[in-house]
Chain A
Amino acid sequence: MADATLNIQGKRVLFRPGTVLKLSVLIILILLIVLPLLRTVLFTLQPDTIKAWSDVLGSRLSKNLFYKPLTNTLLIGVVVSTGCVLIGGFLAWLVVMTNVPFRKTIGVMATLPFMIPSFAAALAWGTLFRNDRVGGQVGFLQGSGLDIPDWLAWGIVPTLIVLTLHYFSLAFTIIAAALATVNSDLVEAAQIAGAKGRKILMGVILPVTTPALVAAGSLCFAGAVSNFATPALLGLPVRMQTLSTRLFGMIEVGQVGRGYVIGIMLVIISGIFLWAGNRAISGRRSYATITGKGGRAKRFDLRGARWPLFAIAMTILTASTVVPVIVLFASSFAPSSSDLFANWTAHYWIGQSTPNIAQGTAGIVHNPDILRALGVTLSLGLAVAFTGMIIGLLTAYTLARYREGVISAAITQISFLPLLVPGIAFGAAYIAYLGAPIGPFPALYGTFALLVIAATAYLLPFSVQTGRAVIQQVGGELEESARITGAGFVKRMTAITMPLAVRGLAAGSILIFVKIIRDLSLVVLLFTPTMPVLSVVAYRYASEGFGQFANAITVVILSLSIVTTLIANRLQSKSQPWLNN
């Protein structure tokens, strides 16, 4: 008798709506993310590497090895994510909700900085602000007679500015997607009640876009704290270190144990910060803004502020897009890396191999390696955008519909993890994880599948966060009415949730595509001779001093990213006519 009751209760727990779904998602995430990372942790617990923990956390080295870099890292994370949400949010508001001039131009330009590798932005900073501390070529401003102080040329200030100008477009993409789904009846209700623009912004729009703001802030925070190229380029001459430059350095000189410990600490500390952010959303009940009724809201009339606000937006966008693009472009034509605008030649693009230039390397259109890498890179981008968004959507849906409980909390935390793991460590973990055969499954080392699986896992935070911001706004009522009429889970997903979330999903897919085709840190260990990708080829050229080829390839990657974005924008506006004026 008692057994029977227990049994029934047990079944109820098991078949409570969502349990199966939640468990499946959890298992997928554990397989993709937790197991490979666990290997890294176990590595630092081996008898001969365990001393790394005390070296890093409590020895005479700790101050320089860990605590000072940690302070810089947290400063960067907090300032950059705040700046990104402010700038990205401001631009998204201008583009989506106001009648600012050249809205579409601003919209397209605001998505560009994220596609420009952050090292290009850092190089561009140097081109302008570099002073005579290091010697050699000074920047444009110092060259024009201005005396640029060290704090403006090197260290934390330029790092903060460059990273903010790099990551704000990530915030823009997410916040714009969320703003675009804000329902007209909310805004109209406020207008009827007599609320003015500022009041509507603060009282209606900001609150309902909170999930997007928090998601954007979290992604920018995580991106900024694990960014390597910018602090390495701008910080080193004044000996500013962050956890990521320290991690890289430790692995670089063969002290892998310490490197991993720093990496693990980076994960833990960022995790705590992001957990706090997540608490902020999960406290609220519902963010549903796309409901069964309502249409597009009227745009705010900025009146006299139209052109001044336009000028502010363009200043930010010029600094973050036009300048780095010019530097990249120029340096793919300039024979000398120190004099960007002299003696231009198209050799690095279209030249045939000549022995006296760059060890006989042919221009990139004649280079079979680069063409092959281009094919692999594009396939990888498409495959990962597809797999990433499927798992991302599934995860986001699960979290939005069943946000209570331990499993959901675990899913949230795990889906964030890869963001905090430096790509090179993630790649190494994956080689150890899937490189060798597991039971009946063959070793995946050197296969396209390994690249796709690892990249999907690595970029999951992006797919989940973007999917989540949108899906939380797709009201449950639509799906519920479908369920009442007898539609199954798959039917509801494909007929209701997917179409409504398509803009956010497309935005997520673009992010993933763009991120993976220019990603270096993850693939640098995973790529194999038969499976070259563009960024690795570019990196090889850059490290051999053939910066022009590297920059030419970067320009190719950039063009690919821009074309993708434009196509995606066009597709979106066709499938969602209500987003147009």
Chain B
Amino acid sequence: MTVLNITRLGAMCILLSTAAFADGHLDEMTPNDLLPLAQQEGSVTVYSFTSRISKVEAAFEQAYPGIDLQGFDISSTEQIARLKAEAQAGVANADVIYISDTPVVLTELLETGIIAPYVPPRVADRVDEQYKSPLLAQRLSTKVLMYNEEANPNGAPVDSLWDLTRDEWNGRVVMVDPLQRGDYLDLMTEIVLQSDQMAQAYQTEFGQAIDLDGAANAGEKFIMDLFANDVILVRSTDDVNAAVGKLGQDNPPIGFTSYSDRRDNEEEGWALQVANDVAPAPGIIFPAIVALASEPKNPAAARLVIDFLMGDESDTGGPGLAPFYVAGDYVTRTDIVPHPDAVPLDDFNAWRLAPVETAKIRAEVGDLILTLQ
């Protein structure tokens, strides 16, 4: 009886360790090693926060015939809700998670063990440490101050964020409601985190030290002043783009939106341009994360997709990166040539979002904004 139990225990140990070994092994594999395993799996499911996944799907299936990539375009917030519900139901639908909203992702998905990090060994040495841990960032996206280039041919009409609290910009600053869109709340949170710089910029702009007047810090004071100056809240970045960018306006507003939306200027009839030189910074730049489901059904194919999304060995990353190689999106791989039409990342003045710091006070900043509305 006891012997039998011990044998069983031993067998279980061996099985468990092989499983662990196999998994660890997968993490070390090159794309060539992964390919046959992935082809055996036959398909892989990706949840993506951008519709550009459909382009990735076509390119991936062309590069790796025999693996069916099922890409689903699901907003970050919805992915979080869905992944949590799926985890509760004991279902693992997705193999790969491609998502922004990092502060929420860290606390709600990574810490709870719903997703797991993976850095393809092929590119590991060509991505900065800050973009590999705790999760791999594929590229950086933005929420920054943009103005109408047509109405302001000589550059941005403001030189400091504090300008937005002046009378002349009363009712003429547009952004998405930070209580409806996570990335705008991240932007507001970053302004609070950067209170020292905000105080400095105030001094430069108005020639006197900031009077906090009840606010906890310069960042909060800015947010309070911005709302007191009748900032206009809309529902989506496209609403901001249309308001700020629309051609033919005499006195267009200014607003916070994505730098990469400038790529739609021609198609939509916009004149969006980034106010990169505004003090202390035009906004935030934040990572788009790729990660594994913690127990993917197709572990090899999932890793192969992430490897593919990080781009090939060409200068611009080839078909895997092509959908993301646009002005205003910054690829994290250090060896990819920067996009020629964009402000180079080194010259781009936006604050780098610190997900962990942001997560700590994000809810507080949300509460502050709640009391201002």
Contacts and interface: CB of A to CB of B under 8 A. Distances in A.
Contacts of A528: 93
Contacts of A529: 45, 70, 72, 93
A445 B86 contact: yes
Nearest to A229: B235
A245 B235 CA distance: 11
B197 interface: no
B233 interface: yes
A486 interface: no
A432 B89 CA distance: 6
Interface centre among A239, A339, A437 (most CB of B within 10 A): A239
A338 B233 contact: no
* Size category of the binding interface on chain B: 35 or more
A376 interface: no
Nearest to A119: B235
Interface in A54-91: 60-61, 63-65
B177 A134 contact: no
A255 B363 contact: yes
Nearest to A239: B373
Most central of A237, A248, A424 by chain B CB within 10 Å: A237
A424 B371 CA distance: 26
A137 B234 CA distance: 14
A446 B92 CA distance: 11
A137 B242 contact: yes
Nearest to A545: B238
A236 B82 CA distance: 26
A485 interface: no
B121 interface: no
Contact of A134 (B50, B75, B234): B234
Interface in A228-250: 232-233, 236-237, 239, 241, 245-246, 248-250
Nearest to B75: A543
A241 B372 CA distance: 13
Contact of B51 (A61, A232, A525, A544): A544
A360 interface: yes
Interface in A513-562: 524-525, 528-529, 540-541, 543-546
Contact of A237 (B45, B108, B233, B370): B233
A540 B74 CA distance: 7
B78 interface: yes
B96 interface: no
Contact of A252 (B77, B86, B242, B245): B77
- Best-surrounded residue of A136, A239, A524 (most CB of chain B within 10 A): A136
B246 A253 contact: no
Interface residues of A, number: 54
Contacts of B253: 134-135
Nearest to B323: A359
Contacts of B78: 524-525
B367 interface: yes
A253 B93 contact: no
Contacts of B63: none
Contact of B85 (A245, A250, A335, A432): A432
Contact of B268 (A236, A246, A336, A445): A336
Given A248-B180, A249-B179, A237 B232 contact: yes
A251 B81 contact: yes
A252 B72 contact: no
Given A61-B367, A135-B249, A338 B242 contact: yes
Interface in B42-66: 45, 50-52, 54-55, 58
Interface in B68-115: 70, 72-75, 77-78, 80-82, 85-86, 88-91, 93, 104, 108
Contact of B180 (A64, A253, A339, A543): A253
Contacts of A445: 86, 89, 91
Could you say which of A233, A253, A336, A541 has the most chain B C-beta atoms within 10 Å of its C-beta? Answer: A253
Nearest to A430: B85
A133 B232 contact: yes
A428 interface: yes
Interface string A95-136: 000000000000000000000000000000000000001111
Contacts of A431: 85-86, 88-89
Kindly list the 4 A-B residue pairs having the minimum CB-CB distance in the complex, ordered from nearest: A435-B89, A135-B243, A135-B253, A544-B51
Given A435-B88, A546-B51, 15 more contacts: A64-B372, A135-B249, A136-B245, A237-B234, A241-B373, A253-B77, A255-B366, A359-B55, A432-B85, A435-B85, A435-B89, A435-B90, A436-B91, A445-B91, A543-B75
Interface of B: 45, 50-52, 54-55, 58, 70, 72-75, 77-78, 80-82, 85-86, 88-91, 93, 104, 108, 171-172, 174, 177-182, 185, 232-236, 238-239, 242-246, 249, 252-253, 264, 267-269, 323, 362-363, 366-367, 370-373
Interface of A: 60-61, 63-65, 133-137, 232-233, 236-237, 239, 241, 245-246, 248-255, 335-339, 359-361, 424, 428, 431-432, 435-437, 443, 445-446, 524-525, 528-529, 540-541, 543-546
12 contacts: A64-B370, A134-B234, A136-B245, A137-B246, A236-B233, A236-B234, A245-B180, A252-B181, A335-B267, A338-B246, A435-B85, A435-B89
